[in-house]
Amino acid sequence: MYIEKIKSPAELKQLNIEALKVVADETRQAVLNRVSKHGGHVGPNLGFVEATVALHYVFDTPKDKLVFDVSHQSYPHKVLTGRASGFLGNVDEMNAISGYSSPTECPEYDNFEVGHTSTSVSLATGLQKARDIKGTKENIIAVIGDGSLSGGEAFEGFDEASELGTGILIVVNDNEMSIAEPHGGIYKNLRDLRESNGQCNHNWFKAWGFEYKYLEEGNDVEKLIEVFRSVKDTNKPTVVHIQTEKGHGFTPAVENKEAWHYGMPFNKEDGSRPERPTTESYEQLLSDWLLKEMKQDKTLVAVTAGTPSAAGFTPEKRKEAGAQHVDVGIAEEQAVAMISGMAKGGLRPVWTVFSTFIQRTYDQIAQDLCINANPAVINVTWGGTASMNDITHICLFDIPMLCSIPGLIYLAPTTCEEYFAMLRWAILQDKKPIAIRIPSNGVHHTTETVDREYAYEAKYKVTQKGEKVAIIAAGSFYQKGENVARLLAEKGIKATLINPRYLNEVDRETLDSLKGGHDLVVTLEDGSKDGGFGERIAAYYGTSEMKVLVGGIKKDLYDRFDLQQLLSDNRLLDEQIVEDVIDILS
Ligand SMILES: Cc1ncc(C[n+]2csc(CCOP(=O)(O)OP(=O)(O)O)c2C)c(N)n1
């Protein structure tokens, strides 16, 4: 095997074309070995094997700088830059290698930690400027997928690269797919370019001032080497547009590209996955609910931004929703501004977004939506600790972010029934933008009646009256609050338990009422506690006698954390909270 011996890409340069093809095959098998045992991005990596071999053969990394977009296609690069053990080795060796580009893991060959889309060209323009000012001569190469071109930052990066006017190579990896089908006007031009072998007159990249080359055979090592050689050391902004096949070399991934974008372990002989018990999911419940409601209300529109699965919108459900589903592409900023406009225009838009990806929309939420007070609804999903855990995909910051924006109500339901009641109310009201944090600790049901109407001012719900200690347990951590209350009861302390429902502001009346009969308030939130929900309550009690124990996750750069360890380090295991309460009370 070549790849077991290759310690650096420079060694590729000793090989002839036939040997390079073997390297590509071995790399593909190594990627398959990892994703089938460990899970991870399947299609994006399988389609980019040949391009990676060719890039490393032609260019001279680490002197030349390679910048990946999302970096979910960087597995072949890892195999060829001394990390093959993460693909061929045991589980521990696989765990040691992240699924994204990571300078912490490999400072020599990985230039940036990347996980959100559409950033590679912008990051590369920074390296380009640094090179130009220092007067050095290295190639700067940005890789970007066709799907990621729809993000605004990608446009800004292209704009800057053209303005700089010096050498930069942008490899557009066009596999005709985002996670799902891509959306946006640019895809018409990409299609025309593909169909005309790069020759059509209206060429988006050329119009922007780029030199342009097209390669239809983007999975052919030899042809890729030829085209990359022809642009090596260019002193102009240059695009090489390659057509690749997502999932190349693994039939199940080629046949169902959306399902094989990312996945859990599988049998690589036939692509089958171990049967998993079918449990209820908010994705399925939400999409079913929206589809049913849409039939009664033609103004209801479900919006997604490149991740239709966030709302459970499978290809079949997208088809069923028709014009009442809009996917704006990987363009979260566009989604926010557009739902504001839709609400203004008399529609009832509901945008569903993963917690980590809402981060790039602070200004659109503050300006386009909230200052305008348009009654659009945002569903934030997977917010919390039991969610994605790569450093670039942490879902802990939506509460501090959204709760710092004036004019936005951020609700935290604790059960399925409460969630849909809040969602219905948010959709039907016409005064304010409302965000709702879908619980991320599984689907819990309640037999208690839930409120149908919600006030615009925070109104907490006291669910159990007790004394000495009050637990205010928000959203996904409400069940943790129940557990802590039960454990305290076993120790003879009957705690007050509160479902705050509102994350964005304190309910002064309820907080004041606790001053009689309680010495301690415990707040629990499933997210970063710095700037979060509990700190606001602690600040409210500031000058009073009330003690406040704020329970949440300390702000930090977490990477691939273990959930139990994270909770334990932050003293958020049920027993630890009980211990701390007893300690403070005694
Ligand atoms: C800001 C942001 N939104 C959404 C995502 C989720 N996401 C990861 S990869 C991807 C599709 C990227 O498509 P493309 O660039 O064409 O690469 P491909 O997977 O097809 O190789 C999306 C939507 C993300 N990583 N970042």
**Is residue 272 included in any domain, yes or no?**
no
Q: Ligand 1 centre and the CA of 212: distance in Å? A: 24
Containing structural domain, residue 564: 461-585
Report how many helices (DSSP H) and strands (DSSP E) the chain contains, helices first: 23, 18
**Per-residue pLDDT of the chain in tens (586 residues, 90 and over written 9):** 899 999 899 999 999 999 999 999 999 999 999 999 999 999 999 999 999 999 999 999 999 999 999 999 999 999 999 999 999 999 999 999 999 999 999 999 999 999 999 999 999 999 999 999 999 999 999 999 999 999 999 999 999 999 999 999 999 999 999 999 999 999 999 999 999 999 999 999 999 999 999 999 999 999 999 999 999 999 999 999 999 999 999 999 999 999 999 999 999 999 999 888 889 999 999 999 999 999 999 999 999 999 999 999 999 999 999 999 999 999 999 999 999 999 999 999 999 999 999 999 999 999 999 999 999 999 999 999 999 999 999 999 999 999 999 999 999 999 999 999 999 999 999 999 999 999 999 999 999 999 999 999 999 999 999 999 999 999 999 999 999 999 999 999 999 999 999 999 999 999 999 998 999 999 999 999 999 999 999 999 999 999 999 999 999 999 999 999 999 999 999 999 999 999 999 9
Same domain, 29 and 158: yes
Indicate if 320 and 418 belong to the same structural domain.
yes
For the CA of 146, the nearest atom of ligand 1: 16
> Is 271 among the domain residues?
no
Residues 472 and 368 in one domain: no
CATH number for the domain including 380? 3.40.50.970
Nearest CA to ligand 1 atom 17: 145
Same domain, 237 and 88: yes
| Cβ of 378 less than 6 Å from ligand 1 | no
**Ligand 1 pocket mutation pick from 73, 179, 356, 390 by most atoms within 8 angstroms of CB:** 179
On whether residue 3 sits in a domain, the answer given is no
State whether the beta carbon of 146 lies less than 6 angstroms from ligand 1.
yes
Q: Is the CB of 307 under 6 A from ligand 1?
A: yes
Which atom in ligand 1 lies closest to the alpha carbon of residue 118? 1
Nearest to 69 by CA among 166, 141, 167: 141
Residue whose structure tokens are 């503050």: 366
Q: Decide if 327 is inside a domain.
A: yes
Residue 449 lies in a domain: no
The answer to whether position 494 is within a domain reads yes
Q: How far apart are alpha carbons 441 and 477 in whole angstroms?
A: 8
Integer Cα distance of 58 and 80 in angstroms: 13
Distance CA 147, CA 167 (A): 24
- Beta-ladder partners of 166: none
Same domain for 249 and 347? no
Task: Extract the tokens encoding 531.
Answer: 């700037």
Report the amino acid identity of residue 118.
S
Q: Do residue 369 and residue 293 come from a single domain?
A: yes
Q: Do 512 and 565 sit in the same domain of this protein? A: yes
Q: Same structural domain for residues 215 and 287?
A: no
Q: With contact defined as beta carbons under 8 Å apart, do 151 and 222 qualify?
A: no
- Asked which of 437, 452, 472 is the last residue of a domain, the reply is 437
Q: Name the domain count of the chain.
A: 3
Residues 42 and 104 in one domain: yes
In a domain, residue 273? The reply is no
116 lines ligand 1 (CB under 6 A): yes
Nearest residue (CA) to ligand 1, atom 26: 116
Say yes or no: CB of residue 309 within 6 Å of ligand 1.
no
**For residue 399, which of 558, 572, 531 has the smallest C-alpha distance?**
531
227 and 306 belong to one structural domain: no
217 and 78 in a single domain? The answer is yes
403 and 485 part of one domain = no
For residue 571, the domain's CATH number is 3.40.50.920
The whole-angstrom separation of Cα 97 and Cα 74 is 11
Query: Does residue 167 have its Cβ closer than 6 Å to ligand 1?
Result: no
By the 8 A CB rule, do 436 and 413 touch?
A: yes
